[in-house]
Structure 1
Amino acid sequence: MNSSPSSLQIAAFVPMRHNSERVVGKNYRLFAGRPLYHHIITTLLNCPQISLVCIDTDSPMIMEDAAAQFPSVKVLERPEHLRDGAIPMNEVLLNSVAQVPADLYLQTHSTNPLLRAETISQAIEQFLGQSEHDSLFGVTQLQTRLYDATGRAMNHDPEVLLRTQDLTPVYEENSNLYLFTKQILQERRNRIGYKPMMFAIDRQEAWDIDEEIDFRVAEFLYTVQQTSA
């Protein structure tokens, strides 16, 4: 993109629904003594390149709490037709960018409480310092033997038993971090553009909370980090 962060308006979005199926009330459930979403909001506010942090939500609880705890954060009330859990995130983001003008948008989740401000800043700097890619998304490097649903090897030859650390890496989209422009989102109806940059994040930092076990492991990892800091 080859632009200076100081010359750009970068808006960060954190979408949060009031209800969640697999982990009840996870967005505002206490995580190491604070509501889960407080962690990522605090992280984003500590990123100097980010001009504005926005919460998109249908939760009266989050709206009220965010207004009290994070007065500088812009809260967008999600319209009724976008509140169903089956609605694609890209449709939610299209509604958000229509309300918040910016040169570049960042999106992450409350379910990434271990993501660090330094990592987000590094991703922004790398993306802005190049011109080949039109978007960025976070990935986790995997070096493990993968198979498809039919039992066919995907990334290795079962006849050649390489050590896993010697396998060619593959990458998992980890839902931690996305950078995109309004133009890309509108043209593609997708936050990942035509020529995206993959930004690798350490597996422990990229822990994403989907299920109860994820919540407990992430909280344990967070507590260990705080104790050893």
Structure 2
Amino acid sequence: MKYLTIIPARGGSKGLPNKNIKLVNGKPLICWSIEHSVNCHLIDRTIVSTDSEEIAAISRNSGAEVPSLRPENLAEDQTPTEPVLLHVLSELRQKEGYEPDAVVLLQPTSPLRKKGRLHEAINYFEQTHADSLVSVSPNHHFFWKNLHSPEALYNYEKRPRRQDIKESDRWFQENGSIYITKKEILYSVRNRLGGKIAAFLMDEQESIEIDSELDCKIVEFLIRELKYEN
């Protein structure tokens, strides 16, 4: 199969200004995802979708393609990711006649992926004969909802030890790191997930998303301590 990686990176960010190009361990944040894709030999092309000339220049220097800047109507605060993916596919088809078999979505705010992780995800995607894939991480089972009238989502009268929870009863959190979608699914349901969905398990430390200065410090610490490399 022919896999196209798309990395969406808007120029604007209210919570953490210039987030996508903020230096993380001496490297612009987006470069961690670009390099992870470029270094995976199963990926045919790596494209960054951005409305920023600065992000485009940094992305090209890191080995990604930026065929054109994203139009303003697809670079607003509330713009979903799927129209951005479809825009890239449409541009490539119209201008180059290029059609991938599947789209890999890597979000730059999730920079911690162990070396070879994308290769593993693609292999799992193919082995499970899935139509789409979402990366997940294990999460604690003891959830509550509704602060004003607390309701436990587990039996607190028979609180189990975490290690005794059966795998079939475990909860997993979508970590936003890796998505894979067959082109036909993306076109038909206009969603990154559809058809037969595979869940690809990643470590908890790989699942930190950068939205604040504190997140940056945690990620930099983990990169140094765990010696992350692409």
**Structure-2-length-normalised TM-score:** 0.88
| Structure 2 SS opposite 1:205 | helix
Q: Secondary structure of the residue that 1:98 maps to in structure 2? A: helix
Q: Per residue, is there more helix in 1 or in 2?
A: 2
What is the CA-CA distance between 1:75 and the residue it aligns to?
A: 4.1
Partner residue in 2 for 1:202: 203
Work out whether residues 128 and 198 of structure 2, in 8 Å CA contact, stay in contact via their aligned partners in 1: no
Contact 1:145 1:164 in 2 (8 A): no
Tell me the residue number matched to 1:34.
27
Question: How far, CA to CA, are the matches of 1:86 and 1:212 in structure 2?
Answer: 22
Select between 46-55 and 110-119 the one with higher mean Cα deviation. 110-119
User: Could you tell me how far apart the structure 2 residues matched to 1:94 and 1:107 are?
Assistant: 12
Alpha-carbon distance in structure 2 between the residues aligned to 1:222 and 1:73: 26
8 Å contact from structure 2 (residues 134, 178) kept in 1: yes
Shift of 1:96: 1.5
Residue in 2 that maps onto 1:127:
125
Q: Please, what TM-score do these two structures have when normalized by structure 1?
A: 0.89
> Does the CA contact (< 8 Å) of 2:112 and 2:208 recur in 1?
yes
Query: SS of 2:41's equivalent?
Result: coil
Q: Which of the numbers 75, 87, 104 marks the counterpart of 2:79?
A: 87
Report if the CA contact (8 A) 1:22-1:212 is conserved. Answer: no
Instruction: State how many pairs are aligned.
Output: 218
Displacement of 1:65: 2.4
Q: 1:14 aligns with which of 3, 7, 10?
A: 7
Identity of aligned residues (%): 29
For 2:212 and 2:163, the matched residues in 1 are separated by 28
- The equivalent of 1:5 in structure 2 is none
The CA distance in 1 between the partners of 2:131 and 2:226, in whole Å, is 34
Q: In the alignment, is the contact (CA less than 8 A) between 1:14 and 1:55 conserved in 2?
A: yes
Question: 1:106 & 1:68 partners in 2: Cα distance?
Answer: 21
Which runs of no fewer than 5 residues in structure 1 stay unpaired? Answer: 1-7
1:104 to 102, 105, 115: 102
- Note if 1:45 corresponds to 2:38: yes
Equivalent residue number for residue 151 of structure 2: 152
Partner SS for 2:177: strand
| Letter in structure 2 aligned against 1:179 | I
1:62 maps onto 2:61 in alignment: no
